[in-house]
Structure 1
Amino acid sequence: MMGSSEGKRIEEVLSYPILLAERIRAAVDEAESFKLECGEVGKQVDRLLQMLRILVRFTTAAQFLYERPIRRVVAEVSRNLERGLALVRKCKHHNIFSRVVAITSVPDFKKLLNLLEASVGDMRWLLSVFDSENGGATGGIVLSLPPIASNDPIISWVWSYIAAVQMGQLADRIEAANNLASHAQDNDRNKKIIVEEGGVPPLLKLFKESSSADAQIAAAYALRILANERERVRNIVSEMGIPIVVLVLGDSPTTVQIQAAKLVARMAEHDPVAQDDFARENVIRPLVTLLSFETFVDDPKAQLGKQSIHSIVQINKEMEKYSSSNSWNYRPHMNSYSSSSMEGSSSSRGGNHRKERENEKPEVKLQLKISCAEALWMLARGSVLNSKRITETKGLLCLAKLVEKEHGELQYNCLMTVMEITAAAESSADLRRSAFRTNSPAAKAVVDQLLKVIKESDSSTLQTPAIKSIGSLAKTFPARETRVIEPLVAQLSSRDQEVAAEAAIALQKFAFPENFLCMEHSKTIIKFDGVPYLMKMLRGSERTQLHGLILLCYLAMHAGDSDALEQARVLTALEGADRTVLAQHPQLKELVSKAIYQLSLYHTGVHPQRQSYAP
């Protein structure tokens, strides 16, 4: 029933049980046995018939109808009416043979009457939800329990809330959206039920069309709770959620933009398809616009040099241009649905909220930037294309300034965004050339702030992404740029062994044989006293031992004649590592052998041919 009715119009779905009920009434009148029982069946069918007709009138008049519970309940009612019709028809006996075949008993009628009573209860609940004259969806949220949901009450509550979100008055829509979010928070099963029962479209509609910021916030929050798993994110995407979110983000009250940015972050975090689709809808530009809001006003000349001032002027022009735009028409990939249905609202509201944003409380402005930075972080994560898009919107300069002047969560989110962009640059020569040229003001500003965090911060949470970012950019630094190596070497002696290990990993990328300047960088690492720190790391945790050993091997291979290596007895240490660390990491055996061989060439009295490796 349910499966076969899914593709039918709701009028067709409702016409079937009405037809069944009318046939039962006729069969009751023709019954020759069990007339009392058939009469009781007729009474219940009359009640169902009356309620079905009321429901038909309501569905015909309703502008926005939530059909899911109607289809489920009516399918169950139809099944019970089919049973009733079959049983009542057996009570019309034509001959002795049919009397023998049609074995009917009072318990059969009792069972049928119980089923029909349950259907009456289901229909009564359905009308209470949908019929405004009886206090339904347009008159309040109904939380009574219909028989169909007696074993799983969450179903009926979800139906009632979704109906209220789609069809209710504004206050009820807000309350229902908040209740959906509350139930979704309880467990993933509830999230799955809300999505399966059609909760996403009305939430998106409320988020897009409502004139109430509270309603938009409630809808966005519920959607964000649902969007913690790939398939549910895909459901939001399939319901045209991405262009709606981008539209609302572009021009709405600040509190709504905060929730929109958080929703972007959550969806991009859990689904690479959403991550790509958001970028295609050009969500990055409004995110950078909002993140840059008032960022360069206070101190336009701070630490960014003459060339950077020009960049600041340009970015301020861009921010003004996009903030005052009447419609976000730069979205080239909007399909016919999104462009036609959204253009009207965006053009009428465009730019209306910039002044409001300027007058917002500082903590609200801060929360907006935190949310936008997190969204950019999730969009950049693992994506070369999105990272490139961020750099093309002057996002690097903005991120550098915020890392410099902010603290806490905003500074962390900006650092994580930079870390993802630099990781993408590490794997993409094109991105390195376009965004991290040595004469780029934005690249210089980013590097300056990363180094400042590495040197001055006492938080490993902040130091770690900064260290990783410098390591990812290792191929972009010329040999003379020794200032980026010195703070990394200093962190090899960090009390936090994870920070020390990350510093060693970053320095490995400078000394890695495939780095064109590996020999020069290796000598610089030694010059800044990296060798003693690395020798200490060999006595640390397993992770620090491993990465300290790898970096020592690179130094030995590229600067084996260094006195610092000989004085620190690195050769002896490597020979010892052959028996300890390599037992756990046998893949390093060849690397250690190469390093031992290279060092032995410069040690008096040592015969290279006796070592375990000979090139």
Structure 2
Amino acid sequence: MEEEFSYLILLADRIRDAVKETESFKLECLQVSKQVNRLSLMFRSVIRLSTNTTTANTNSNTNTNQSSFYERPVRRIISEVSKTLEKTLALVRKCRQGNCFFHFLTITSAADFRKIFILLDTSIGDLEWVLSVYDVNSLDSNGIVLSLPPIACNDPILSWVWSYIAVLHMPSLSHRVEAANQLASLAIDNDRNKKIIVEEGGIAPLLRLLKQGSSSPESQIAASNVLSNLATDRQRIRMIVSEHGAPIIVQVLNESTMSVQISVAKLVSRMAKNDHAAQEEFARENIIRPLVSVLSFDTFLDEAKTQPQKPTSFHSLVKINKDLQGGSGGGKSNVGICRSGTHNKYEKENVSPDVKLQLKINCAEALWMLSRESISNSRRITETKGLLCLAKIIEKETGDLQMNCLMTVMEITAAAEMNADLRRAAFKTNSPASKAVAEQLLTLIHQETSPSLQIPAIKSIGSLARTFHSRETRVIKPIVLQLGNMNLDVATEAAIALGKFACPENFLCAEHSKTIIEYGGVTPLLRLLRPGNDRAQIHGLFLLCYLALNVDSGEGLERARSALEGAARSSVLMQNYPSLRDLIPNAISHLAVYETGVYTLMQSYTI
């Protein structure tokens, strides 16, 4: 900055020296000299302002609200002023003694002077705006300067963004909060405003306000709100991450009050939803632990009382003591310890139940977005005993909190379906968390009437199809009942889930297929095959083919052959879904062989 301003001062000196040597347009040149002198004084004022700010920062490392100098608009203005002074110097030099082309350039030079006066006035106006914005004593009660510099007269949003970001670099916390709130309002309006805020360097001071405003929840909420409004695009999210935003956000989530945690959890959810790289970055900063900790607050407090006391050996006491001190766990978070710390922390806050509920809703949504299509994050949630916490909340809560926890479970089970290691580790048959999750999912499928709850519950059970033993027929019955649901989407999801039980990839497909038929699954399944909804028809055909191939007899299978033959005659289905081309003929052939065998056997008995 000083070097660039030094060049401007040098240009101003050259212009003044050239004015002294002029022989023509002396009055105009004297006017130019006055304007250039004014600019030169402004240059020095801006240099002093930036130097004092830099020196104050160097000497006050312990000041959490220290100011810094925002260079972005100044550099833009310096560039324009430099061009103006270069043009001015070239014009003034034409008026020096000995210019043989003077008489030919008189008219052009007069017009040029008028243009130069306008350009110099513009430069003066720009620098006046800089001094008004950066001089703390000139700010109003809100700390905002909304005057327009000439450089941004065609784009007032740019000057407002400059003003707000400049205030974010200043020491007054109340002014910074107001500037952040104004930026949040601008960011809501449209994507162009968001782009300007990011391009003009707004992310770094917002993160600094979020980190340093621990004494002021209002400032942290204001900063996180702006960042949430910006985090609707992958590129902008990666700008936040590149400014080391993830560790700052996780730290604030760990240490802040409930009101701040609500807005920060919303920010985490927004970033994780719109960028997979942000999911992984948050995971590396171990954000799962505080989210599960907050979510489990008041959830398991009565669980220990219901468990029977067991004899405790000396070695067990030692291990328990180490656990309580955080000495074991291999880096994995201990939910009990986190819950205790969270409980003690929140006891100091006098907050309403509505605030606690909103915090849990936002944390559950953040877990949902973090686990979405992420095997590693799903594994981390199960390692923190988050599954048991989610199951308890699904059981006891309603509304958005129950829905967000259910969607998180759906994402975890989808990850487990894709990854055998996660499936074996998190959904063991004898695992209390696995049993609790399955129990709540089946309850929702059986008792709920809302498709928004039934569909994710059915999907989750379908994803876990390979974890259930053949004797666990109670899992299949509620889903079979939903094949006849009046809501076609619910019935279709039931067919998809049952298809995962009956498909050849499932080792127990034959046993599960028998159970589906025994519970009367064929009759409602045939209704799904009616034309009108391709999705329902296709998944219904897959399930019917699996049942026909896995089971030789059963109620309703005699009608399956005609339904499959009708589908085989549909050229549209066969062309659009190649996987059915071989499956349907094989199922028809298997049913035909069985029926022929039965007919032959009946004839032998008759003879």
Above 0.5 in TM-score?
Answer: yes
Which of these residues, 372, 387, 407, is aligned with residue 381 of structure 1?
372
For residues 153-168 of structure 1, what are the structure 2 equivalents within 5 Å? 153-167=156-170
Residues 239-280 of structure 1: per-residue CA shift (max 9 Å, x gap): 010000000000111000111111111111111111101001
Which amino acid in 2 is paired with 1:59? S
Which of these residues, 26, 31, 36, is aligned with residue 17 of structure 2?
26
CA separation of 1:323 and 1:34: change in aligned 2, threshold 3 A: farther
Partner of 2:337: 321
Which of these residues, 421, 428, 436, is aligned with residue 445 of structure 1?
436
8 Å Cα contact 1:139-1:169 kept in structure 2: no
Question: How far apart are the structure 2 equivalents of 1:373 and 1:79?
Answer: 55
Q: CA deviation at 1:22?
A: 1.7
Partner of 1:169: 172
Question: How far apart are the structure 2 equivalents of 1:127 and 1:324?
Answer: 52
> Which moved further from structure 2: 522-531 or 12-21?
12-21
Question: How far apart are the structure 2 equivalents of 1:518 and 1:323?
Answer: 42
Which of these residues, 355, 359, 366, is aligned with residue 357 of structure 2?
366
Partner of 1:196: 199
For residues 265-276 of structure 1, what are the structure 2 equivalents within 5 Å? 265-276=269-280
8 Å Cα contact 1:200-1:223 kept in structure 2: yes
Aligned residues: 567
Partner of 1:93: 97
Residues 519-555 of structure 1: per-residue CA shift (max 9 Å, x gap): 1111111111100010111126222111111110110
Q: Does 1:504 align with 2:495?
A: yes
Partner of 1:222: 226
Residue segments in structure 2 that go unaligned for 5+ positions in a row: 58-67, 311-315, 327-333, 600-607
Which amino acid in 2 is paired with 1:479? S
Question: How far apart are the structure 1 equivalents of 2:168 and 2:573?
Answer: 62
CA separation of 1:605 and 1:102: change in aligned 2, threshold 3 A: farther
Partner of 2:517: 526
Which amino acid in 1 is paired with 2:542? I
Which of these residues, 509, 515, 530, is aligned with residue 506 of structure 2?
515
CA separation of 1:74 and 1:355: change in aligned 2, threshold 3 A: same
DSSP 3-state at the match of 1:382: coil
Which of these residues, 154, 160, 163, is aligned with residue 151 of structure 1?
154
Question: How far apart are the structure 1 equivalents of 2:344 and 2:151?
Answer: 48
Q: CA deviation at 1:174?
A: 1.1
8 Å Cα contact 2:22-2:92 kept in structure 1: yes
8 Å Cα contact 1:438-1:476 kept in structure 2: yes
Residues 476-502 of structure 1: per-residue CA shift (max 9 Å, x gap): 111111111111111111111011111
CA separation of 1:319 and 1:522: change in aligned 2, threshold 3 A: closer
CA separation of 1:291 and 1:351: change in aligned 2, threshold 3 A: closer
8 Å Cα contact 1:251-1:353 kept in structure 2: no
Q: CA deviation at 1:94?
A: 2.7
Q: Does 1:282 align with 2:273?
A: no
Partner of 2:549: 557
CA separation of 1:395 and 1:421: change in aligned 2, threshold 3 A: same
Question: How far apart are the structure 1 equivalents of 2:553 and 2:338?
Answer: 58
Which of these residues, 578, 581, 601, is aligned with residue 593 of structure 2?
601
Question: How far apart are the structure 2 equivalents of 1:139 and 1:221?
Answer: 19
Residues 439-488 of structure 1: per-residue CA shift (max 9 Å, x gap): 10001101100111111111111111111110001111111111111111
CA separation of 1:514 and 1:324: change in aligned 2, threshold 3 A: closer
CA separation of 1:558 and 1:436: change in aligned 2, threshold 3 A: same
Question: How far apart are the structure 2 equivalents of 1:87 and 1:188?
Answer: 43
Residues 559-593 of structure 1: per-residue CA shift (max 9 Å, x gap): 13334301xx1101110111236256341121111
8 Å Cα contact 1:451-1:484 kept in structure 2: yes
Question: How far apart are the structure 2 equivalents of 1:482 and 1:494?
Answer: 20
Partner of 1:611: none
8 Å Cα contact 1:140-1:168 kept in structure 2: no
Q: Does 1:578 align with 2:568?
A: yes
Q: CA deviation at 1:165?
A: 1.7
Which amino acid in 1 is paired with 2:109? S
Question: How far apart are the structure 2 equivalents of 1:301 and 1:454?
Answer: 30
Q: Does 1:493 align with 2:509?
A: no
Residues 182-215 of structure 1: per-residue CA shift (max 9 Å, x gap): 1111111110100000000111011110121011
Question: How far apart are the structure 2 equivalents of 1:492 and 1:390?
Answer: 32
Partner of 1:356: 348
8 Å Cα contact 2:458-2:494 kept in structure 1: yes
Q: CA deviation at 1:38?
A: 1.0
Question: How far apart are the structure 2 equivalents of 1:572 and 1:139?
Answer: 77
Which amino acid in 1 is paired with 2:533? S
Residues 11-47 of structure 1: per-residue CA shift (max 9 Å, x gap): 2222221221121111112212111111111111111
Question: How far apart are the structure 1 equivalents of 2:344 and 2:37?
Answer: 57
8 Å Cα contact 1:574-1:592 kept in structure 2: yes
Pairwise CA RMSD: 2.6
Partner of 2:62: none
Question: How far apart are the structure 1 equivalents of 2:308 and 2:325?
Answer: 17
Partner of 2:450: 459
> Which moved further from structure 2: 199-208 or 585-594?
585-594
DSSP 3-state at the match of 1:369: helix
8 Å Cα contact 2:21-2:97 kept in structure 1: no
Which amino acid in 1 is paired with 2:370? L
Which amino acid in 2 is paired with 1:130? Y
Which amino acid in 2 is paired with 1:150? C
Partner of 1:421: 412
Which of these residues, 187, 199, 207, is aligned with residue 190 of structure 2?
187
DSSP 3-state at the match of 2:553: coil
**TM-score, structure 2 as length reference:** 0.89
DSSP 3-state at the match of 1:485: helix
Question: How far apart are the structure 2 equivalents of 1:484 and 1:513?
Answer: 19
Question: How far apart are the structure 2 equivalents of 1:20 and 1:51?
Answer: 14
**TM-score, structure 1 as length reference:** 0.88
Question: How far apart are the structure 2 equivalents of 1:301 and 1:458?
Answer: 34
CA separation of 1:130 and 1:379: change in aligned 2, threshold 3 A: same
Question: How far apart are the structure 1 equivalents of 2:574 and 2:411?
Answer: 34
Question: How far apart are the structure 1 equivalents of 2:223 and 2:553?
Answer: 66
CA separation of 1:416 and 1:301: change in aligned 2, threshold 3 A: farther
Question: How far apart are the structure 1 equivalents of 2:206 and 2:29?
Answer: 46
Aligned-residue identity in percent: 59
8 Å Cα contact 1:464-1:499 kept in structure 2: yes
Q: Does 1:294 align with 2:286?
A: no
Residue segments in structure 1 that go unaligned for 5+ positions in a row: 1-9, 326-349, 608-615
Partner of 1:613: none
Residues 405-454 of structure 1: per-residue CA shift (max 9 Å, x gap): 01110101001100110010001000011100001000110110011111
Question: How far apart are the structure 2 equivalents of 1:47 and 1:110?
Answer: 18
8 Å Cα contact 1:600-1:606 kept in structure 2: no
8 Å Cα contact 1:323-1:354 kept in structure 2: no
Q: Does 1:545 align with 2:537?
A: yes
CA separation of 1:257 and 1:154: change in aligned 2, threshold 3 A: same
